[in-house]
Amino acid sequence: MMSGDGDDDDDELSSGGSGDEVHVINGHNKRIPTAPSGGSGPSRRRNRKAGGVAIVEAMLELAAASKMRAAALTKKNGDNLQDSSTSSIDLDLELDEMELVAAAAGYLYYQSLVNQPPGTSPSTRGTYLKDLLQGPVEDCREVLRMDKRLFHKLSDTFREQGLLRDTITVLVEEQVAIFLSIIGHNQRIRVIQERFHLSCETISRHFNNVLKAVKAVSRGFFQPPVLETHEDIVSSKRLYPYFKDCIGVIDGLKLLANLPIKDQPRFQNKKGILTQNVLVACNFDLEFIFVCPGWEGSINDSRILRAVLDDPNQNFPQPPKGKYYLVDRNYTNTEGFIAPYQGARYGPHEYHGARQMPQNAHDLFNHRHMCRSNVIQRSVSMLKTRFPILKSAPPYHFQVQRDLVIATCALHNFIKREDGAHDWLFAGEGKDAAAAEEEPRGEGEEEELELLHMDSTPRELVADSLRDSIAFTMWDDFMNKWEEW
């Protein structure tokens, strides 16, 4: 599927690629080699161009000289030829072909020199990443969105599993750095071209190859939810024992989308904005446990969940009997998926002012439901803060846009699992930046709910009974023990 309008160089990222058809450097755990720095100013480009012209002229002169010499030999030995007329014509044609081949070879070589981006000589390639990995930790984190150890571990994983390979000019580490620079800063090819001294085609090919590699290993980064009660729930009097059987949170993530005109009506939300709807589920460790992107922005969240549950190929981690996910007001309250009460307050903005205290059991349940389920907003906010490409509609094919959602969520989990205690977003100063990204819950929900009013099914009755039991037990404890609400 073709993307919408965008820069020509960016559209190249949507083209497929199976890797460089060049010699492979054998070995494992290769690091960026040292290389002397080299300048690439106007004089260098002029010299390169002049050298190309000289090569073309020299090859043409060589072909012409060979033709003259052959003609002289033909005239001298004409009497010895059985058919001098025919042989002479054949020889002239053969020499003409030689001249054309020589000219074409010289021209192509000249073009390859002139069309190279500035600074693409072998002496300058790889120096940017080498300097970055040998520089301050903060610089690596800012550019690659992860620390050096994780970057090397990720690159080694791709190499060892045969998903990426070192080429004669670009090592695996540089390929991964190109990909992370694009998704971590939403940068265009021209910027990456100047930084890594590679052609647009090479950057595009490696971007697609790394995207495929991340998708290939992503299954190992998405783990089913843990069934034991999470420590954050056990340690909170407001949540335990009421939510002891909750194993995660589900929500719909709306991302801006870039689509061809013929597909745009299906992806327009109620505000006329082109979006793809992504079903996401996360645990209480801020890790994504399920991601299903690519749904039309016009489709209701509850319908998407229903379709995913009915499709065994989606491999959705179904909640066991007695366990459940928390869902928001866009979803039907049904067995395994507990939603807040309709008609009662829910969003944080509704608990301010004189009526901030809960008025009844439904109020109290909704407030604590919101406090526990906001973990998915925090996870999504950190995801967008680390990978800003998700904040815009990148000018790539829609399939690439879908794959980017899976890839970024997988990398989010990889970083959380490997370095969650020290990562700048999960543990440090990035928390404030992520908090600023959070969107208020509840916006535009009333329009969605119109689709959900229907007769209750047996599964919905089971969920209603469980929710009432939790809510009234919670309210009794609150009123009798004056617990913190």
Look at the block and give the residue holding tokens 């981006």: 117
Confidence check: pLDDT of 23 > 60: no
User: How many C-beta atoms lie closer than 10 Å to residue 187's C-beta?
Assistant: 16
pLDDT of the residue at 393: 93
Is residue 303 within 8 A of residue 426, CB to CB? The reply is: no
What is the Cα–Cα distance from 334 to 331, expressed in whole angstroms? 9
Q: In what order do the strands lie in the sheet with 246-256?
A: 288-296, 275-282, 246-256, 324-326, 337-338
Confidence check: pLDDT of 298 > 50: yes
Q: Please state the rounded mean pLDDT for residues 300-325.
A: 96
Q: Please state the rounded mean pLDDT for residues 126-143.
A: 90
**291 vs 64, 245, 268, 278, 437, CA distance in Å?**
66, 22, 21, 7, 20
Query: pLDDT-derived band of residue 91, with 50, 70 and 90 as boundaries?
Result: low
Output the six-digit token pair for 30.
């290769």
Mean pLDDT lowest among 86-100, 323-337, 409-423, 439-453 = 439-453
pLDDT tens per residue across span 137-153: 999 999 999 999 999 99
User: What is the SS3 assignment for 275?
Assistant: strand
pTM score: 0.74
> Among candidates 63, 182, 46, which has minimal Cα distance to 114?
46
**Torsion of Cα atoms, 76 then 77 then 83 then 86, to 10°:** -50
What is the Cα–Cα distance from 193 to 160, expressed in whole angstroms? 27
Query: pLDDT-derived band of residue 32, with 50, 70 and 90 as boundaries?
Result: very low
Mean pLDDT lowest among 64-73, 309-318, 320-329 = 64-73
User: What is the SS3 assignment for 250?
Assistant: strand
Is residue 154 within 8 A of residue 176, CB to CB? The reply is: yes
Q: Please state the rounded mean pLDDT for residues 248-273.
A: 95
Residue 455, CB half-sphere, CA atoms under 13 Å: how many? 2
Confidence check: pLDDT of 442 > 70: no
Confidence check: pLDDT of 440 > 50: no
Sign of CA dihedral 437, 440, 444, 448: positive
Q: What is the mean pLDDT of the chain?
A: 80
What is the Cα–Cα distance from 213 to 218, expressed in whole angstroms? 9
Confidence check: pLDDT of 427 > 90: no
Sorted by sequence, the CB contacts under 8 Å of residue 416 that are 6+ apart come out as 285, 286, 287, 423, 426
User: What is the SS3 assignment for 81?
Assistant: coil
What is the Cα–Cα distance from 287 to 404, expressed in whole angstroms? 17
Confidence check: pLDDT of 122 > 70: no
Is residue 22 within 8 A of residue 167, CB to CB? The reply is: yes
pLDDT of the residue at 420: 84
Buried/exposed code over 338-373 (b: 16+ C-beta within 10 A; e: otherwise) = bbbbeebbbbeebbeeeeeebeebbbbbbbbbbebb
pLDDT tens per residue across span 162-178: 999 999 999 999 999 99
pLDDT tens per residue across span 193-204: 889 999 999 999
Identity at 88, one-letter amino acid code: S
Query: pLDDT-derived band of residue 105, with 50, 70 and 90 as boundaries?
Result: low
Q: Please state the rounded mean pLDDT for residues 390-398.
A: 94
Give the CA angle between residues 276, 442, 446 to the nearest 5°: 85
Which of residues 313 and 117 earns the better pLDDT score?
A: 313
> Among candidates 296, 321, 319, 28, which has minimal Cα distance to 158?
28
